[in-house]
Amino acid sequence: MAKKYSKEKLKRFRISIEKRMEKVAEDMGDIHEGILDNGNNSEGSSQEAVFSTHMADAGTDSFEQEKNYILMGRESDYYKNLEVALDRIDEGIFGICKICAELIPEERLLEVPNATKCVGCKEKEKLGLV
């Protein structure tokens, strides 16, 4: 069986992940407000406003709305991946590569806390060698 990170290091990883989760939740709140606020201007509340809006403005609004939904989906997925990382800490398997069962370098886990593979195995996977 591979080595494991010490309880102290796992505690630091947990704190780091929880801080990221707070930031992601805050970002999702901002995006959600953008989704709710988009197109809800006072000028857009009447039926006549639909005809007075320039088509380019309507296209821009539509693009921004779509972009916000995509961003919300990405942030939501990332948040879920961070939750899974916390579960791996609880299970005692955090930081162990799923392919080679070696420790994932601490530097990688600090940058990508939801990583489940070491860099070498991830590269091999992308090349179709694993």
Q: How far is 130 from 128, CA to CA, in rounded Å? A: 6
The predicted-structure confidence for 51-70, as pLDDT tens digits, reads as follows: 557 777 777 778 888 888 99
Q: How far is 31 from 24, CA to CA, in rounded Å? A: 10
pLDDT above 90 (res 39): no
Q: Given its phi and psi angles, is residue 101 left (phi above 0), alpha (psi -120 to 50 degrees) or beta?
A: left
Check: CB of residue 97 under 8 Å from CB of residue 121: yes
User: Could you tell me the pLDDT band of residue 14, with boundaries at 50, 70 and 90?
Assistant: very high
pLDDT value for 3: 86
User: Whose CA is closest to 34, among 2, 4, 90, 72?
Assistant: 72
The predicted-structure confidence for 80-116, as pLDDT tens digits, reads as follows: 999 999 999 999 999 999 999 999 999 999 999 999 9
Tokens (6 digits) for 109: 């886990």
Check: CB of residue 113 under 8 Å from CB of residue 20: yes
Average per-residue pLDDT in the chain? 86
Check: CB of residue 34 under 8 Å from CB of residue 68: yes
